Structure 1
Amino acid sequence: MQRYFADYNSQENRFRITGDDCHHIARVMRMKEKEEILCVSEERKTALCSLTKISDDEVLADVIQWMEESAEMPVDVTIVSGLPKGDKLEWIIQKGTELGAARFIPFTAARSVVKWDEKKAEKKVSRWEKIAKEAAEQSHRAVIPQVLPPISFQTLLRMGSQYDVKLIAYEDQARQGEKSVLAHALKGLKTGSTLLVVFGPEGGLTENEVKELEGNGFRACGLGPRILRTETAPLYLLSAVSYHLELLG
């Protein structure tokens, strides 16, 4: 069943869908009135709805019943990625959303080959947000993850103070066989905890970057014995968090 994030009117007990989602319902899916969809409100509540009006400008859907469901990670996980080349960040956002991330923040790392173009910033971030939204709908989430424009390394250092646990995925730790930091951090997480994890770009983080991060309360950790690509490492981390907190229970 199709799922959409939409505006909910409590007085009329109905959702209003506009923009690309309206076009998707009317022109792509060619839905008809009385067909059913799932709608998610700004309060993260999901409802089974019946379509009551379909036009080029808006779609109205009346609530049939509210659903009791929870597909959200029990902890708030922020993925911070050194700005990678090509469409790798899009892949991280799409798959990371499916795996439960709450937030994606790119940053300009010392070894980032890509240079951020401020002239294209709004269009680029808008595309990232769309990818996150579509992935959240596909994976039946009740929240669309935040996607921020790239930040500086100094901003990242200051941002760490807002989180309960701060980790650095560092390949040198993996080469040295380190395997306790991540496990220990996951054991310490509780429902509602906030976790921030920093990943380097293709060339990895520099020693100076790691030292500065560690000086600001971050802990370097390995992600198993293999060296992972910049677009694979965040997915490994999110899978580990999910397994520890959602499957082991």
Structure 2
Amino acid sequence: MIVVLAIGILLGLVLALLFIKGYKSTTIIFSIIVLAAGMVFFKEGQDSKQEQQNQVKLANRNDDENNDTNLETKKSIDETNNQSNNTETSESSNQGSDNQVSRNNDYNTGLKEKYLAELDKLTRETEETGDEDIPWIEVRKQAVEKYDLWDDKLNEIYGVLKQQLSSTEMEAVKQEERQWIKDRDAAVKQVEIEEGPGTLAPYAMTMTKLDMTRDRCYELVNLYLK
């Protein structure tokens, strides 16, 4: 505004000189003044343009700072949410594991009781009836059928142990089982020798296998089922 006022005053002086000193001198002075005014306007325009650029840069810098602040805030919120989610997931996982362990323990305890009850029931069903009215051949047949029931139950328990026990524990059970089979066969052979030829030996041998198999079933359930 001050520059414009100064230019106006100079122009006024030029016009005055125009009428006082003549055309040529006034033209020279007027040209100098116009040139100076043009330089002033040009300089002012440059300063105005620079000021606008500075304002734009300042605005962009403020936007960048705001974006950085928002980004940091969002990052902090995301990290907090992730930590919260991880904590909840960990707690949920731990709770799920605890519940699974509890269910497994309840299942195992119930399984042991279940098999002990089944063994007691099978014991009652396979006890000797002492019925002397049935033929001897029928007695021998019943003994074989009762032994088969106990042998099936032993195989069933053995299969359950394969699912429950670790590989190391199961390997130990296998070693015991091999030794038990040897002991059973040796006991049956001894009965055969003691009974000698006759119709009683096969029955006595079957009953020996039955008794030993029943005892082995109870032993596996009590020792290894959890």
Q: What range describes the TM-score normalised by the shorter chain of this pair?
A: under 0.3
Taking CA–CA contacts closer than 8 Å with sequence separation of 6 or more, which of the two structures ends up with the larger relative contact order?
Answer: 2
The structure whose Rg is larger is 2
Q: TM-score, normalised by structure 2?
A: 0.23
Higher strand share: 1
Q: TM-score, normalised by structure 1?
A: 0.21
